[in-house]
Structure formats: structure tokens, C-alpha cells
């Protein structure tokens, strides 16, 4: 698995590099905010996961970008549910927080954090992890992010994962297939499809 190592003590530098990298437009990064609603129209991800999301559930939008999906997920789980909108990009999270404040919604929590460090989410507390475009956009720590997804999911929980290999994404076929082997694949799952709904192996 081709995962670049980060030296101890270099984590903050890497975080800043990742943050800078993800603030510019490119396939594997977050696009400009004004284009997000247009790209969402072409992305079937939310339609694929809608049947799995129920009122009252706790959902994580991991690598949420500008948060458009997080707000839609918050409608789906309703006021008795909760959505964590998590992204490494502090500007995106600030923008989501402003939108939360304006809308008065109480069921979204915007969190500036790496997907590889979700210590603010308890073990086995999440019904659904929506990680659309995340792993392919992570230059570092992808295995840690996968471990965190496994840690926070309830035993009955599910996750939506997407791939994307070179030259645009970081997740090559071997790594994608290795990740799939660590889950039960419920839908999708091939490298060609590049997306999967997965659950924990018991």
C-alpha cells in the first residue's frame, strides 16, 4: 500500500500542507463553493444513500466540503437525529457554521478535523458515514481514516465510500480492494464502479 509516511512531529506541517492543497480547485480537492451545487446535480451519491438514512439517525459527512450534502442529510435524519459535518478545510467549516447559525439548525455540528482523528466521536455511535470523495482526496493517513470509520460505526451501521486513483486521486486499485476486503460490501465495491456501501464484518 503506497501511503506516504509522516515523521513524528511533522503532523502539523502536513496538516497545513493538506489544508493549502485542498483550498484550490482540482479533481481530488474541494472545488469552488459556487460550483458545488452544480457538481452535486451530476453526482448520484446522495441518491444512492438516501434509502439507508432514517429519521433519528446519527450520520457523519466525512470530507463534507462546503456542506451541501450535510444539510440534506440533516433534513433526512430530522431534528431528533444529528449530522457531523467534518472537513479538514477550516474555510469550508467556517462557511458551514455560518449557514448553521443563520438557519438555526440544531442537528448539524461542523467540525474542522482530519478524517484520521475523530476522537470527538464516540466508538460505535454512528449509523451512517457518508465519505463521498474523501479517501481519494487524502494524501496521508488513509488507513487511519478507514480505522476511524470502523471505530465510530455502530455494529449495524453502514458507510458510503468512494475511490479514485492516479492521476487525480490517491487511492489506487490495490488499496481500494484492500479497503473493500476489510468490510462487508453491500452495494457496488469494484474499482471500476469506484463507490461502495459497506458495513462492518462481525
- CB 64 → ligand SAM: shortest distance, Å? 5
- CB 65 → ligand SAM: shortest distance, Å? 3
Pick the binder of ligand SAM from 87, 127, 148, 175 (CB under 6 A): 87
Pick the binder of ligand SAM from 52, 53, 57, 65 (CB under 6 A): 65
Cα gap 185→24, rounded to integer Å: 33
Q: Is residue 58 a contact point for ligand SAM (CB under 6 A)? A: no
Helix (H, G, I), strand (E, B) or coil at 75: helix
Q: Is residue 189 a contact point for ligand SAM (CB under 6 A)? A: no
User: Which neighbouring-strand residues pair with 109?
Assistant: 84
Q: How many CB atoms lie within 10 A of CB 68?
A: 18
Q: Is residue 138 a contact point for ligand SAM (CB under 6 A)? A: yes
DSSP state of 62: E
- CB 112 → ligand SAM: shortest distance, Å? 9
Closest of 194, 189, 163, 196 to residue 28, by C-alpha = 163
Distances (CA, A) of 176 to 36, 63, 161, 172: 25, 17, 10, 6
Beta-sheet strands, E only, within 140-200: 153-162, 183-188, 195-200
Q: CB-hemisphere CA count at 13 Å for 82? A: 10
* Nearer residue to ligand SAM within complex by CB, 5 or 155: 5
- CB 151 → ligand SAM: shortest distance, Å? 15
Q: Is residue 137 a contact point for ligand SAM (CB under 6 A)? A: yes
Answer yes or no: are the C-beta atoms of 57 and 129 closer than 8 Å. no
> Cell triple for residue 80?
431528533
- CB 197 → ligand SAM: shortest distance, Å? 15
**Residues 143-182, mask of contacts with ligand SAM (x by CB under 6 A):** ----------------------------------------
- CB 51 → ligand SAM: shortest distance, Å? 18
Q: Which residues bind ligand SAM (CB under 6 A)?
A: 18, 22, 28-30, 63-65, 69, 87-89, 92, 114-116, 132-134, 137-138
Amino acid at each position: 500500500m503506497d501511503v506516504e509516511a509522516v515523521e513524528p512531529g511533522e503532523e502539523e506541517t502536513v496538516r497545513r500542507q493538506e489544508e493549502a492543497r485542498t483550498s484550490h480547485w482540482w479533481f481530488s480537492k474541494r472545488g469552488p463553493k459556487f460550483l458545488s451545487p452544480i457538481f452535486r446535480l451530476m453526482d448520484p451519491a446522495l441518491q444512492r444513500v438516501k434509502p439507508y438514512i432514517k429519521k433519528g439517525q446519527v450520520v457523519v459527512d466525512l470530507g463534507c466540503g462546503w456542506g451541501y450534502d450535510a444539510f440534506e442529510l440533516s433534513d433526512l435524519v430530522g431534528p431528533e437525529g444529528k449530522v457531523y459535518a467534518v472537513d479538514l478545510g477550516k474555510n469550508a467549516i467556517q462557511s458551514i457554521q455560518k449557514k448553521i447559525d443563520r438557519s438555526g439548525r440544531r442537528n448539524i455540528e461542523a467540525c474542522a478535523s482530519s478524517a484520521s482523528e475523530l476522537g470527538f466521536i464516540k466508538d460505535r455511535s454512528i449509523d451512517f458515514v457518508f465519505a463521498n470523495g474523501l479517501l481519494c482526496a487524502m494524501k496521508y493517513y488513509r488507513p487511519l481514516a478507514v480505522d476511524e470509520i470502523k471505530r465510530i460505526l455502530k455494529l449495524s451501521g453502514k458507510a458510503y465510500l468512494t475511490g479514485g486513483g492516479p492521476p487525480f486521486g490517491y487511492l489506487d486499485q490495490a488499496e481500494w480492494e484492500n479497503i473493500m476486503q476489510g468490510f462487508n460490501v453491500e452495494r457496488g465495491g469494484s474499482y471500476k464502479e469506484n463507490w461502495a456501501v459497506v458495513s462492518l464484518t462481525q
